[in-house]
Structure 1
Amino acid sequence: MHSMTVTRWLAAAGALMLSSLATAQVRISEIHYDNTGADVGEAIEVSAPAGTDLTGWSIVLYNGSNGASYDTDPLPTPVPATCGARGVVVLNYPANGIQNGSPDAIALVNGTTVVEFISYEGVFAATNGPAAGLTSVDIGATQNGTEAVGMSLQRDVAGVWTAGTSTFGACNDDGVEPPDPEVASVTVSPPSVTVAVGSSVSLSASALDASSAPIAGVPFSWNSSNPVVATVSGTGVVTALAEGDTVVSATAPNNIAGTSAIHVTAVTQPPVTDFHINEIHYDNLGTDAGEAVEIEGPAGSSVAGFSIVLYNGNGGIPYGAPQMLSGNLPTSCTDRGVAFVTYPQDGLQNGAPDGIALLNASGQVLDFISYEGSLTALGGPAVGLTAADILASQTNAPVDTSLQRLSTGIWDSVLSSFGACNPESPVPPTNTILITGRTASDAPLPVGYEDQIFGQLRSPGGVTIPSTFTWVSETPAIATIGQNGVFRALAAGTAIFRATAADGTTSTISLPTHVGEESTTAQYGNNTEFGEPLDSDSSDDIIVRRREFTSSYSPVRNSPNWVAYAIDATHFGSLDRCDCFTMDPELPSSLPQISTDDYTGSGAIAGYGIDRGHLARSFDRTSASLDNARSFLFTNIIPQASDQNQGPWAQFENYLGDFARLQNREVYVITGVAGNKGSLKNLGVVTIPTHTWKVALILPRDTGLAELRDYRDVQAVAVIMPNDPGVRNVPWQDYLRTIDEVETLSGYDVLALLPDAIETAVESNTQPPIAAISGPAGSIEEGSSITLNASGSLDPNGSVVSYEWDFGDGTTASGVAVTHGYAQDGVYHARVTVTDNDGLAGSAVFAVIVTNVAPVVGAVPGGNVNVGAAYTVAGTFADPGADAWTATVDWGDGSVPSTASLATMAFSLTHTYTTPGAFTVTVTIADDDASTSSTHTVLVAQPAPGLAQAIPLIDQLVAQNKIPRAVGTLFKAQIVAAQRLIARGNNPAAVVILRALVVQLDLLVRLRQVTAADVAPLRSLLVQTIGSLGG
């Protein structure tokens, strides 16, 4: 574990106490860490001036229970113009990604400088990381787990935090910055301190306003009242020079000051005891492993309650939790015994300096040592004591070595022996072999994959001795190894390899292997969804399709021509890099079998660094071990200049990966090589390209080819980079090119499946026209017209030359403005497609809402009919829509209503009544959405009683002088005769008489003695009666 240097600590403290720009301009502006149920939408927002470059900035999360950091994430960059002159960037976290406090904290860090260190639900001091030694500032607002999803804590422009509905991605602290408050008081921390001669301590000053609220960004001048005893630097670092007392003051610009009392004492060592710290291991080559501390004392002695306390040389205070001992010391060697405790990776800091104290059960310090320098404890159980420097250190030491106290009291670096007594005297020096390339703490090598290890013969003085090595696998069933140090995992377990130098010196290394696992959470799709790149010669394209990427491998280059893959947030995880470069087993076995050794040493021959460069980035495949391992297959690896790979290429990879990892976007990438500048080691096997290229399409999450409608639905970015040294510090943006230029260089058509209009715009950066439609708001009724206008359409780099309309109802038109009528109700999407002078097209849609108009039924007159006679209802109706209509007649007599489907706006339905009476007839006309009705009354009578009504009608014609009285008397006689026949059941005879009477009426009309209107009531009654009698 690496401790923070004094310089870094002071820089961090200075950022909180002295910086006026960073604190005021870049700040944490919104957080969400807790809600009811499972935490959802956890995020942190940072506000800054628009355009701010946040490269190197990060958010570090701190655990209030132990003061240690638990997560670090880089900030997206640059800051967009979200709200005028300011903007925000957002980091999204998984469920429970941000701890729920009581308390916890967040540090905003620029490089290694802490700009803000805020906490929620309390305050605490950080024990590691960039904020080590700093005390957090409580924001004064909390989330207690009862809040609804969608709430957050937000900071306004005045710096006040409140709870509200989340606005991540939008500004909540913009506006006029409040005026700087007046300093009313200054506090110096700690207010008093005791320090030994020759030691230093850092003080911090805080300015408060009249309400005792802290003021950020206040500069202080520092002064010691007795510089003979102790001096103070301009950043508050006190250096003790002689025994005595002094007062150190920190003064704000308005002469308000605070003080700290400094007491300087002589150096004090812990008492000499029979217990001491005996062996330690804190640093080694690669990731720290096997960290431990051993103590020694009289055999059989009880160490119950003894503890080991670790000290941070930066500040002289303890860090981490004390390690407790128990039981009795065993008889490890004669009359002495040892016991040891282990620590996790980075559990022991790496010095410059750091220390370790051994305490007995009463808390008395029995031993206090330091490494990589001396330190005086300024806090904890060893306060006031100065540690004894062991004058030995570890820097990139072999994993299996430690620092041990020999019987002479001298500390030396030898093979670790935790749990056993140390040598009585230094071991005679011999040559040793340092094996590098992979360590036991690296991720286990997956079965079927390869890596390479190297031997280095070293003299006792650490000088490298040239030598050849013989490699042997002592576990051939688990892994094999070649004489170039390339080894392959065959089964899960621990592989042991032995290296023997030419002088006979030998050493082994043990490395873990395992069976790789595929991710169950990563969501992979079609890597070539936008088209599989094609060129004019497919003979050098061997296509290999995997979940993680699709590759075209060249048997000429012996490396890929191109690789296509997608990136989304599910592809990222916590897996370490595999570092297992291996020939892809999907390739034909007849091809040269490339191994990592083909690249080893190639840079020295070429005269510049050459990396095994990934086309699909390894970090984008970290959700499971096999997903990551496959990114190391040589179908994904090219010879890449180190300066390019670790410079602008890495910058561009970060830029694209952050869209998927941090901004919930989908990124499709096609990347490859071009040109030939020789081969690795000049062997003519693996071609070194002159250029690398990459095309990326950035879309919303879970969006693909099927969802693209317009070139504005996708953001396209393309680069061409020279595969040369000397470009490490060149911004990737300097290599931006069009996709057309990439296709010209590579010879590949990379986005063949994009719709032509979108492909043309995306690949050439020639923008198609932007269509726009204006029209009336609201809705129109069916049968009416609407006027639509596309004159608002524009072309960014040309002119619109045509307008074509599709009204959504099967009809079309041309022109800038059009008028169209809709015959039927519904929602129609009228689309205009505009074409510019480049032949590119754009379209827009206008939703036309057409409402229904109910049909209107004309009046239907009433009527009379005898029982058994057919009664017909007929009429018309009006409807402006082209609907399908249905006529329904309810005859009012309880019978089943009659219905009829209508093709025209007219109806006619017939019904026979079986009982007499007055019935209300209801005619209803319905279209597909609405209906209207009309009613009238029909009188139904029995034939004979009904015929009696004829006599009054005849009398009325006589009284009106329409017919002579004699004719009337004749007509009535015929009526009476018919009634008598009906009464006797002789209906046919009655029908003959009544028909004769109808003929006589018609004759009178033809002779113009009466009009048809005069006799119409009588004639209608006779006809109805005839019909009811079956005549």
Structure 2
Amino acid sequence: MLTRILSGLLLAFASLTAYQVAAQVPDVRISEIHYDNTGTDSGEAIEISGPAGTDVTGWQVVLYNGNGGVTYDTRALSGPISATCNSRGVVVLNYATNGIQNGGTGATDTSSPDAVALVDATGAVVEFLSYEGVIAATNGPATGLVSTDIGVRELGTEPVGLSLSRNASGVWAGPAASTFGACNDDGTVEPPAEVATVSVAPVSGSVIVGATFAFTATALDAEGGVVPGTTFTWVTSDATVATVSATGVATGVVQGSVTITATAPNGIAGTAALQVNPPPTGTSDIRINEIHYDNVGTDAGESIEIEGPAGASIAGYSIVLYNGNGGASYNTTTLSGALPATCDDRGVFVVTYPQDGLQNGSPDGIALVDATGAVVEFLSYEGAFPATNGPAAGMTSTDIVASQTNAPIGQSLQRNAANQWQPAASTFGACIGNGGPPPGNTISFSGRNPGDPALPVGFEDQLFATVRDGNNVVVPTTITWTSETPAIASVDARGVMRALAEGTAIVRATAADGVTTATYSLPARVAVAGTTAEYAGNAEFGEPQDGDPSDDFIVRYPQYTASYNPNRGTPNWVSYDLDATHFGAEDRCDCFTSDPALPSSFTRLSTADYTDSGAFHGYGIDRGHMARSFDRTTGSLDNAVTYYFTNIVPQAADQNQGPWAILENELGDFARFQDREVYIIAGVAGNRGTLKNEGRVVIPERTWKVAVIMPRNQGLADVVDYRDVQVIAVNMPNEPGIRNTPWQTYQTTVDAIELLTGYDLLALLPDDVEIAVESNTQPPIGNVAGPSTSSEGDAIAFTAAGSLDPNGSIVSYEWSFGDGVTASGSDVTHTFAQSGSYTVSVLLTDNDGLTTTVSASITVNNIAPTVNDFAGATLVAGETYSVNGSFTDPGADSWTATIDWGDGSPSLQTQLAARTFSGSHVYSTAGVYTVTVTISDGEGSSSRTQTVTVTEQVPSQLTAAKALIDELVAAGKIANAAGASLKAQLTLAERLLANGNTKLAVVTLRAVLVQIDVLVLLTPLQASDVTALKAAIRQVISAAG
């Protein structure tokens, strides 16, 4: 029924011209496509155009196969559309060689279209465009929709570098030089051209009473160009003879001729002629009653039989074969003579065809046409479709419902008296039911076809045998299976065949009657590993572990690593890496087999343990891959390994074929088309009982998956921050009814899956990254503010108050200034004691214990030391000058003091540990000297000077001393006698100095100092009274040396 509805829709939409895609152009739209060129296809791509900034996360581009209307590829879009050209932008999807199907083969052929659907985030189809014809989608988001042909095509003869593109008016053109990545639909929309002529096709046609015929109309401008978006008004010249719908589909009412007219809105019209013929007479007397078009292996004995009254003339009759893909005829056989008396008053006539002379369906058709050209009947098998040419043009076929798919040789489809078609042993040349004794029982096989990939040696598949009697009624029975080629394959009691060696395996099925028996041949081969896949890192982030290793039997293959649980009969988890090198052209083997790596003590499973589980439990149950078989297709062995039961769990069909499959497709697209490395761990949780209550295989309550997505060829060593990875975690209920639920509904955290299963996942990630990605919480986002330059000794303020935590709060700020000093708090002040370049960092910790360290750089400039004032002196030649002083420096440097004495003698240089300096020097010559003290910290320096005056060694000091004694005597502080004695000794010292007897002069002067000290002790003379006196005497002593 669905096929008939879709065929009707195709007819209804056939009147839309390719260029009507411009009538309503959505804001976000498909704007460019390249799918075919000469030689090997190259640069296949699809471009999406839309307003800049539009978020297309969750949108999809879905490719449809025109043969059957099914999807064959889905690509996910994400993020906003960048501003490529002012207010609009584009997103380009690149495909592998032959990633986009090529449509038909001719310039006008519309029998092999393909299509593209643009689907928004809600699942609504934004537009459904096709090339080289129109299709009706039978699955996916566009189910039930009929595509719009873009009206231009690539023939496969064009050079590389061309494409088909859409302009601002929505009109498609090309092939022309491709502009992928640049806007081609952002210009000003030109007003539609004026319709000058209208063309109706075909210009004439015929139809029998009650049948339909479809016309199409095209509007052309004055220059012969198509006017897009034109709508037509359809009328008939005589509605009593034929009517016409608003879409140009005419229906015959009575015999006669009419004119069908299509009129554009401006009144310009085009016409076509339609002849309505009467319905053929006697259609129940001559009819098609037996067909054989397909059998197992090479087709043989393909035939069509017609049946009718004996002696009826069939001269001028013809049998016209129709291709269901496009509706065109592909063979005509003209009949002659009359029907023989094959069985009393009835007769049959058989037309035989060469091998593959009859197409194998999906669908195809047969028209029986009488001598007047009227179609007696238009039948089809494997679906209905409209004929587009020949005697049945405009008619829709009648599906006989019965079909042949790898039928045994010797069977056909036969029509009974109730007008029902059924398979049975062929009786070509004999009347059905009257052609001799009824045929015996037959056996047909299913489960695996000879055309499937050869069964790999060491792998298994299950075969099924069905017994039918001569009336094609199924006979309930038991089947005994045996192998006719035991060296090549074995087969067990449940029909599970195991390939043992390369070759053709022959198995025999025998019914319980012991008489009905048949053999079945299938190829077997040795599986070969692919050479292009780069397998590494299946457990890149660690093999998951829980607290009970007793139920974790680890198997490791290049294709995956798994923990198998013998108590469940399924893996606990399967871990594998996925990148673009893992995809190839190998077909999937459908060869579910017990893993030979498991110990012999484990229960050995076969695919038969799953068979009939759906019927038993009341909902579909699949043999579900944890590591998808499509992801391992570079070699037959690579693919076969994924069919080991260490990788298989019972999955509800609605889950496995619904959200689970959609997520698998998206992860696969990351690897295939977006140059990503995808690390996947998938597993099970819970227990819904066992398959068929047999206690062998546990049906999980949930299946879960964790995917870590990174740039291609990156792994654990490249992870330093949580932003280095994208993590997707899902936990799906394993139950019916969720087929159309988006996978995003089941997103969760890795932490939640770990809590559910007890397994530690992603254990090798750095702890801070693991915490963030597993909890789906983010660490703080740091911000440091402060000056980039400063000077030694300055108090510098830093702040991290601008930091924030996306999902919590920051609880601590720990600073490090790069000079060994630390501090705490969001706002801190720090003084650098030394010049240099420093990295100031702050460790932020949030309430989840997640941390982030952010840093800033600062350059601290040097401040040169400043020398403080120090004392000069007045000396006598030969006397020692001692200098002591200090300096200031905000930096904690090491310093050097250099003292230049000013008399040409070597400077004194001293390394200092403190901010003080000292030194001494003896001046031997009288003069005035400038003493310069310079302090350097290695980067800068400063100096300060002082004056030292040196006089000659003359007795003037002793003369002064005598005068001071006289003053003390006059003041009554020294007795006259004592004063005279002191002065006499000073005079003696003068003489001695004058005579050069310095040593004796010094002894004399020291004796005077002793006497003065005695006077201070024994008389009222005070020490303060004699300070100047003693200083003068000491100066002479010092000068004398």
TM range (shorter): 0.5 to 0.7
Match of 2:733 in 1: 722
Within the alignment, does 1:260 sit opposite 2:272 as a pair? yes
**Contact 2:291 2:414 (C-alpha < 8 Å) held by counterparts:** no
- Deviation larger for 839-848 or 547-556: 839-848
Candidates 251, 254, 265, aligned match of 1:242: 254
Candidates 49, 59, 73, aligned match of 2:63: 59
Tell me, in whole angstroms, the C-alpha distance in 2 between the residues paired with 1:541 and 1:137: 59
Tell me, in whole angstroms, the C-alpha distance in 2 between the residues paired with 1:489 and 1:551: 25
**Aligned partner of 1:42: which letter?**
E
| TM alignment of 1:749-898, pairs within 5 A | 749-771=760-782, 793-800=803-810, 801-802=812-813, 834-842=844-852
Within the alignment, does 1:452 sit opposite 2:466 as a pair? no
For residues 639-666 of structure 1, give each alpha carbon's deviation from its aligned partner in whole angstroms, at most 9, with x where no partner exists: 2223322333223222322322343332
Match of 2:656 in 1: 645
Match of 1:108 in 2: 116
Tell me, in whole angstroms, the C-alpha distance in 2 between the residues paired with 1:412 and 1:36: 46
Within the alignment, does 1:232 sit opposite 2:244 as a pair? yes
Candidates 124, 134, 138, aligned match of 2:152: 138
- Deviation larger for 495-504 or 172-181: 172-181
For residues 76-96 of structure 1, give each alpha carbon's deviation from its aligned partner in whole angstroms, at most 9, with x where no partner exists: 246653158988665432246
Change (3 A) 1:294 1:607: closer
Tell me, in whole angstroms, the C-alpha distance in 1 between the residues paired with 2:332 and 2:60: 34
SS in 1 for 2:518: strand
Q: How far did 1:745 drift?
A: 0.1
**Aligned partner of 2:247: which letter?**
T
Tell me, in whole angstroms, the C-alpha distance in 2 between the residues paired with 1:284 and 1:22: 48
For residues 600-649 of structure 1, give each alpha carbon's deviation from its aligned partner in whole angstroms, at most 9, with x where no partner exists: 23334434333222111222223322222111111011122233223332
Q: How far did 1:587 drift?
A: 0.8
Tell me, in whole angstroms, the C-alpha distance in 1 between the residues paired with 2:714 and 2:363: 50
For residues 381-440 of structure 1, give each alpha carbon's deviation from its aligned partner in whole angstroms, at most 9, with x where no partner exists: x6889999997952557253554899x9x9985557999999993661333333222222
**Contact 2:211 2:394 (C-alpha < 8 Å) held by counterparts:** no
Candidates 613, 638, 643, aligned match of 1:632: 643
SS in 2 for 1:341: coil
- Deviation larger for 51-60 or 672-681: 51-60
Match of 1:94 in 2: 96
SS in 1 for 2:449: coil
**Contact 2:37 2:154 (C-alpha < 8 Å) held by counterparts:** no
Candidates 30, 45, 48, aligned match of 2:47: 45
Match of 1:29 in 2: 31
Q: How far did 1:725 drift?
A: 3.0
Match of 1:223 in 2: 235
For residues 5-40 of structure 1, give each alpha carbon's deviation from its aligned partner in whole angstroms, at most 9, with x where no partner exists: 522423653776777887545643123568999865
Within the alignment, does 1:398 sit opposite 2:407 as a pair? yes
SS in 2 for 1:585: coil
Candidates 716, 733, 737, aligned match of 2:748: 737
Within the alignment, does 1:317 sit opposite 2:328 as a pair? yes
Match of 1:205 in 2: 217
Tell me, in whole angstroms, the C-alpha distance in 2 between the residues paired with 1:106 and 1:528: 40
SS in 2 for 1:534: coil
**Aligned partner of 2:628: which letter?**
R
Within the alignment, does 1:485 sit opposite 2:484 as a pair? no
Change (3 A) 1:114 1:246: farther
**Aligned partner of 2:115: which letter?**
A
**Contact 2:42 2:160 (C-alpha < 8 Å) held by counterparts:** no
For residues 250-290 of structure 1, give each alpha carbon's deviation from its aligned partner in whole angstroms, at most 9, with x where no partner exists: 34556554433223345789xxxxxx9998644679xx973
Computed over aligned residues only, the root mean square deviation of the Cα atoms, in angstroms, reads 5.7
Q: How far did 1:215 drift?
A: 4.9
SS in 2 for 1:653: helix
For residues 535-577 of structure 1, give each alpha carbon's deviation from its aligned partner in whole angstroms, at most 9, with x where no partner exists: 1111111110111111000122121110011222232233333
**Contact 1:562 1:670 (C-alpha < 8 Å) held by counterparts:** yes
Tell me, in whole angstroms, the C-alpha distance in 2 between the residues paired with 1:405 and 1:677: 46
Change (3 A) 1:760 1:634: same
**Contact 1:670 1:696 (C-alpha < 8 Å) held by counterparts:** yes
Change (3 A) 1:254 1:568: farther
**Aligned partner of 2:690: which letter?**
S
Match of 1:341 in 2: 354
For residues 182-225 of structure 1, give each alpha carbon's deviation from its aligned partner in whole angstroms, at most 9, with x where no partner exists: 76654332233334444422222334567655455554443222
Change (3 A) 1:848 1:542: farther
Match of 2:81 in 1: 82
**Aligned partner of 2:250: which letter?**
V
Within the alignment, does 1:594 sit opposite 2:627 as a pair? no
Q: How far did 1:693 drift?
A: 1.2
Q: How far did 1:317 drift?
A: 2.5
SS in 1 for 2:768: helix
**Contact 2:363 2:384 (C-alpha < 8 Å) held by counterparts:** no
SS in 2 for 1:692: strand
Tell me, in whole angstroms, the C-alpha distance in 2 between the residues paired with 1:70 and 1:520: 34
Tell me, in whole angstroms, the C-alpha distance in 1 between the residues paired with 2:270 and 2:831: 81
**Aligned partner of 1:482: which letter?**
D
Tell me, in whole angstroms, the C-alpha distance in 2 between the residues paired with 1:352 and 1:233: 27
**Aligned partner of 2:299: which letter?**
G
Change (3 A) 1:6 1:226: farther
Match of 1:989 in 2: none
- Deviation larger for 563-572 or 787-796: 787-796
Match of 1:918 in 2: none
- Deviation larger for 495-504 or 159-168: 159-168
**Contact 2:425 2:470 (C-alpha < 8 Å) held by counterparts:** no
Tell me, in whole angstroms, the C-alpha distance in 1 between the residues paired with 2:384 and 2:543: 64
Q: How far did 1:443 drift?
A: 1.8
Change (3 A) 1:391 1:736: closer
**Contact 1:551 1:560 (C-alpha < 8 Å) held by counterparts:** yes
Change (3 A) 1:289 1:690: farther
**Contact 2:324 2:362 (C-alpha < 8 Å) held by counterparts:** no
Change (3 A) 1:213 1:390: closer
Match of 1:190 in 2: 202
Change (3 A) 1:648 1:341: same
Tell me, in whole angstroms, the C-alpha distance in 2 between the residues paired with 1:822 and 1:146: 66
Match of 1:550 in 2: 561
**Aligned partner of 2:777: which letter?**
T
Could you state the TM-score of these two structures normalised by the residue count of structure 1? 0.64
Q: How far did 1:508 drift?
A: 2.0
SS in 2 for 1:465: coil
- The structure with the larger Rg is 2
**Contact 2:128 2:147 (C-alpha < 8 Å) held by counterparts:** no
Instruction: Using the aligned pairs only, state the percent identity.
Output: 47
**Aligned partner of 1:436: which letter?**
S
Change (3 A) 1:501 1:758: same
Which 5+ residue runs of structure 1 have no aligned equivalent? 63-67, 270-275, 298-306, 324-335, 781-785, 851-1031
Candidates 605, 618, 641, aligned match of 2:629: 618
Q: How far did 1:498 drift?
A: 1.2
**Aligned partner of 1:672: which letter?**
G
**Contact 2:280 2:374 (C-alpha < 8 Å) held by counterparts:** no
Match of 2:865 in 1: none
Tell me, in whole angstroms, the C-alpha distance in 2 between the residues paired with 1:141 and 1:314: 18
**Contact 1:198 1:240 (C-alpha < 8 Å) held by counterparts:** yes
Change (3 A) 1:422 1:245: closer
Could you state the TM-score of these two structures normalised by the residue count of structure 2? 0.64
**Aligned partner of 2:75: which letter?**
P
Tell me, in whole angstroms, the C-alpha distance in 2 between the residues paired with 1:752 and 1:69: 47
**Contact 1:403 1:413 (C-alpha < 8 Å) held by counterparts:** yes
**Aligned partner of 1:192: which letter?**
S
Match of 2:8 in 1: 7
Tell me, in whole angstroms, the C-alpha distance in 2 between the residues paired with 1:575 and 1:15: 40
Q: How far did 1:740 drift?
A: 0.7
Tell me, in whole angstroms, the C-alpha distance in 2 between the residues paired with 1:114 and 1:103: 28
Tell me, in whole angstroms, the C-alpha distance in 2 between the residues paired with 1:799 and 1:576: 53
